[in-house]
Amino acid sequence: MIRRQIFVVARTARAFSQCSARRREFLPTTSSPIVSKLDFFNSVSGEHNPIPTYRLLDGVGKPLEGAELPDIDEALARRLYENMMLLPTLDNVLYNVQRQGKISFYMTAYGEEATIVGSAAALEGDDEVLGQYREMGVLLWRGFSLDKVMAQCFGNEEDTSGKGRQMPVHFGSPEHHFHTISSPLATQIPQAAGVAYALRRTPSRRSRSVAACFFGEGAASEGDFHAGFMLASTIPSPVLYIARNNGFAISTPSTEQYNGDGIASRGPGYGIDTIRVDGNDILAVMSAVKEGRRRCLEQGRAVLVEAMSYRVGHHSTSDDSFAYRARAEVEDRKRIDNPINRFRLFMESRGWWNADAETELKARLKADVMKSFKRAESLKRCELGELFTDVYGGPEPWNIREQREELTGLLRKYGEIWEPWRNELGKFKNKGQDLLKERTP
């Protein structure tokens, strides 16, 4: 008996010594090689430390040596460029409109035009998009009209996103497969994992559609980021995460948001194929998102694209970024690495663009935006009673009924006699009569 035990111990010891010598044995639940060197690590692999940034065009729009450009002809290039140019045109007008007090709030996408339009162009029109709030360009790419943009921001009677019940820039459109933006950060990340799972479970969409989820590097500090990535990692589904790393979360620079190598370094921790891309290079963004999308569908798994850019504008109209960053830094970034200029130079080098085309485009976009703005300004808000419709599916629940009845009671009391209420009611279609007409319960 004792001899037998000695034999077992000896055999185990021999196995251990062999395995550290050969370094090819594994513990039962991993494929981790055994090593005898005490070695902590802080990167996923030496080869990718730090994680490289994929780029195709240099700062003056010239293809890098060996760069494989995506399939692009003059028509597509013009479409990309026009869509990028539309964003600052809209932003300039709507930012000023907010300053005049005509809309309550606004957020610009200055500096992120290539990230947004390049991603939009690489997706299919019916891929489900879950955005954060700077992704209006995806909707515009899909044909969401300027009138609809204005209607949402003004919250007027033509607002199909939310009947004027949402803050500006909280767009949504089932027709354009664009899920309504919600203010609480990062909620879209686990939701996207769920949407992608639903796509996989739907025979007509399986292997055909992905859920594309945009989020900022600041939002990635939320617990929901990890919850979402965990879901996507363990319940495989075609979700394409696009992290817009623009250097800031309101006033917090990205250097204070993480101690690792950006957001990309987190992908491999969740077993997710990952790439970091120059977000100011529209062709690189297109290629990365296209390939990311292909992998999502081929493997039925999540993919992460981290697009590096710089938030040129203030965070929103509620922010003054010069309180926490130098004006000169912003001006430099705008000049040195401007995504729109980079692509224009590329187009010019191909003979696809010139100064006349630029002048014509700027005038046309400005005129289109101003026309929509003036129209939106002249429209009324929805009927006041719309405040209470379709908040939930099905019949009106008791809590909504109570709130509607309370407002109706207050309108009866103050609607006509108190000037601020009278003025406010004048902005609604039918001046609140739809509620007043209702019988008192």
Ligand X SMILES: Cc1ncc(C[n+]2csc(CCOP(=O)(O)OP(=O)(O)O)c2C)c(N)n1
Binding residues vs ligand X (CB under 6 A): 134, 183-185, 216-219, 244, 246, 248-250, 311, 315
Task: Supply the minimum distance, in Å, between the C-beta of residue 217 and Mg ion.
Answer: 5
Give CA–CA dist 302/299, Å, rounded: 8
Judged by CB, which is closer to ligand X: 114, or 199?
114
Does 216 help bind Mg ion (rule: CB under 5 A)? yes
Residues 222-261 contacting Mg ion, CB under 5 A = 246, 249
- In eight-state DSSP terms, residue 396 is P
Pairing of strands 252-253, 248-249: antiparallel
Q: Which does 185 bind (CB under 5 to 8 A by kind): ligand X, Mg ion, none?
A: ligand X
Considering CB distances under 5 to 8 angstroms, the limit depending on partner class, which of Mg ion, ligand X, none binds residue 183?
ligand X
The minimum distance between CB 193 and ligand X, in angstroms, equals: 18
Shortest distance, CB of residue 39 to ligand X, whole angstroms?
A: 34
Q: CB within 8 A of 227, min separation 6: which ones?
A: 189, 190
Binding partner at 351 among ligand X, Mg ion, none, C-beta below 5 to 8 Å by kind: none
Residue 61 CB, nearest approach to ligand X (Å): 25
Distance CA 152, CA 233 (A): 35
Q: Which is nearer to ligand X, 143 or 253 (CB)?
A: 253
Smallest separation, CB 307 to ligand X (Å): 11
Radius of gyration (C-alpha) of the chain in whole angstroms: 27
Sheet (strand 273-278) strand order: 178-179, 128-130, 211-216, 239-245, 303-308, 273-278
Is the CB of 83 or the CB of 316 nearer to Mg ion?
316
For ligand X, which is the closer residue by CB, 52 or 253? 253
Question: What residue number has its CB nearest to Mg ion?
Answer: 216
| Closest C-alpha to 283, from 78, 63, 34, 20 | 63
Angle of helix 355-378 versus helix 146-154 axis, rounded to 10: 40
Report in angstroms the alpha-carbon separations of 378 from 150, 340, 367, 392, 409: 11, 33, 17, 30, 29
CB of 326 to ligand X, least distance (A): 18
Mark the segment that binds Mg ion (CB under 5 A) among 15-23, 212-220, 324-332, 372-380. 212-220
Are the beta carbons of 276 and 289 closer than 8 angstroms?
no
Q: Which is nearer to Mg ion, 58 or 319 (CB)?
A: 319
| Nearer of residues 177 and 315 to ligand X, judged by Cβ | 315
Q: Enter the tokens of residue 368.
A: 């289109």
- Contacts with Mg ion by CB under 5 A lie at 216-218, 246, 249
